[in-house]
Amino acid sequence: MKDIFKGRSFKIVIASTIIIIGIMMYSASVSGEQNALASIATFITTPIQKLSALISGGIGSFTNQFEDVDSIKAENELLEKKVRELIAQTVDYDDIKQENERLREILGLKEANPDYAFLDATVISRDTTDVFHTFIIDKGSLQDVSLYDPVITQDGLVGYVSQVGPVSCKVTTILSTASSIGAVDRRTRDGGVLSGNLEMSSLGNAKLSYLARDCDVAVGDIIVTSGLGGIFPKNLVIGEVLEIKPEAQDISLYAIIKPRADIVGCTEVYIITNFEGQGAVVDGELADIMPPQTQGDTSSDTESTAE
Amino acid sequence: MRAILKNIKIKWVAYALEMVIIFILQNTPGLIPSFLGQKPMLLVIFAVSIAIFEGDVAGVSFGIAAGALMDLTASSVFGFYTLIMMLVGYAAGICVIYLMRNNLVSCIVLSTAGVFFLSFVQWLFEFAIWGDAGTWYFLYGVILPRMIYSAALTPVAYYFNRSLAAHLSSDTE
């Protein structure tokens, strides 16, 4: 046993520990950017991960056909019934057109938000060690993705870009404790701060804190972004209220929010690279999402963007 | 002599390839099903099984490489998992040299302990010291399923690496 400390491996461990701690200190000092080593590595791993995500998606959809055969059969029967009903109905062409336009407005984010500049991206990797479902997407600074760009799906907000590499970037989800987003109730305009919570995130939910005791937030209400801080666009759907509870530490209330977007299972997302009011942070006002230690950096970042 | 050196090189290249494949398997969305919301720590199992069959120096080397791959996708500071995985690889190698037998049970025990150590350090530095709410949930809701899932998959890695080590080592003799 005494030989342990004299062995070659022990010396390697000590030397490696010193080097790794050095790398960690360097990485911590350049928060938000990939370090040189990681950038080189992602150049190699990103195409491989992209391919594996593609294959995985293909296999998943192929096997799902067999897994869901009963439900597809039932759904098929239901659809056939609906088709017969629809054929039986006489519907005016203009009505259909109007309806179609309305649905396009609701579903098509681009149509609904003409000021958004979108970039579609594929989820190529998920961090299995992270309980807040952080993931990597296949777009980076070479495609004009910037730090803190909002990431969404057609259903709602997913998170924000927390680290940008040349060909990929890391997305921190709204379920993470690292994010705190200004959010309001769409019906009552009661505001709070949306953040992650360890236990809630395991169920795919987030926490809307600092609601006033006399607020009118109700179960089922839709929560949207407040737009304050200029990080997220205003009125971006986050999710709906599942439950409202009093906070244990103070007199405020908090709500459990079920995100509209499928954060845990999404494979395709959109990055909003530009929108009206982006980076419009008023001096002295806290940015929407920043954890306290990086708020200073963000203000300067967003201010420079505004310029 | 050249043939021996060539086979040795093939062995390490095979291990490196295995590591990259495991990394891709582990991180590809939707490929490995979850158990109680958690995924297995395949790279930990890999590092431990390499340390068991190839010794502490290989354990340290592959621990560093596997940890660096994990750091590429992790939300923590770069180097965090490299450091942990290096210690896991080193400890596994040392344990098999001085304390334990080289068998499946040891591999399962060391892999499970490795997963626990990795998750515990993660919990300590990401949640516990910040006093995050729901922090105890991490211990039973995250670490425990991870350990069980990883332990269940360890025999696959153990027998695969054992046959790989035996096959490629016998070629060198």
In the predicted model, is pLDDT for residue A281 greater than 90? Answer: no
Query: Which residues on B lie below 8 Å from A136 (Cβ)?
Result: 27, 73
Which of the pair, B10 or A293, is modelled with greater confidence? B10
In the predicted model, is pLDDT for residue A295 greater than 50? Answer: no
Count the Cβ atoms, other than its own, within 10 Å of residue A95: 9
- Backbone phi, then psi, for A197, in 5-degree steps? -145, 135
Residues 58 to 77 of A: which have CB under 8 A from any B CB? 59-60
Cα–Cα distance, A88 to B53 (Å, whole number): 72
Q: Measured between CB atoms, does B7 come within 8 Å of chain A?
A: no
Rg (CA), chain B: 16
Cα–Cα distance, A286 to A301 (Å, whole number): 13
Question: CB–CB of A28 and B77 under 8 A?
Answer: yes
Q: Which residues contact B86 (CB under 8 A, 6 or more apart)?
A: A13, A16, A17, A20, B60, B63, B64, B67
Reported ipTM: 0.72
Cβ contact B44:B88 at 8 Å:
yes
- The 10s digit of each residue's pLDDT in A254-278 is 999 999 998 888 888 889 888 877 7
Count the Cβ atoms, other than its own, within 10 Å of residue B133: 15
Instruction: Name the minimum distance, in Å, from the CA of B68 to any CA of chain A.
Output: 9
- The 10s digit of each residue's pLDDT in A166-197 is 888 999 999 998 888 999 998 888 889 998 88
Question: CB–CB of B37 and A202 under 8 A?
Answer: yes
**Residue B173's pLDDT is what?**
45
Residues 144 to 173 of B: which have CB under 8 A from any A CB? none
Residues 40 to 59 of B: which have CB under 8 A from any A CB? 40-41, 55-57, 59
Q: State the Cα angle at A212 between A231 and A288, rounded to 5°.
A: 10
| Kind and range of the H or E run holding A201 | helix A198-202
Instruction: Name the minimum distance, in Å, from the CA of B111 to any CA of chain A.
Output: 15
Q: Give mean pLDDT, residues A51-60.
A: 70
Q: Which domains does chain B have, with CATH numbers?
A: 2-167 (1.10.1760.20)
Cβ contact A52:B24 at 8 Å:
yes
Cα–Cα distance, B60 to B161 (Å, whole number): 17
Cβ contact A224:A233 at 8 Å:
no
- The 10s digit of each residue's pLDDT in B41-90 is 999 999 999 999 988 899 999 999 999 988 888 877 888 999 999 999 99
From the list B25, B73, B138, the residue facing A198 with the nearest CB is: B138
Q: What share of chain A is helix, strand, coil (3-state, %, to 5)?
A: 40, 25, 35
Query: Which residues on B lie below 8 Å from A35 (Cβ)?
Result: 78
Q: Measured between CB atoms, does A170 come within 8 Å of chain B?
A: yes
- The 10s digit of each residue's pLDDT in A197-246 is 888 888 889 999 999 888 888 999 999 998 887 888 888 899 999 999 99
Share of chain A above pLDDT 70, in %: 75
Nearest chain B residue to A162, by CA: B75
**Residue B135's pLDDT is what?**
72
Q: Which residues contact B32 (CB under 8 A, 6 or more apart)?
A: B25, B26, B39, B40, B42
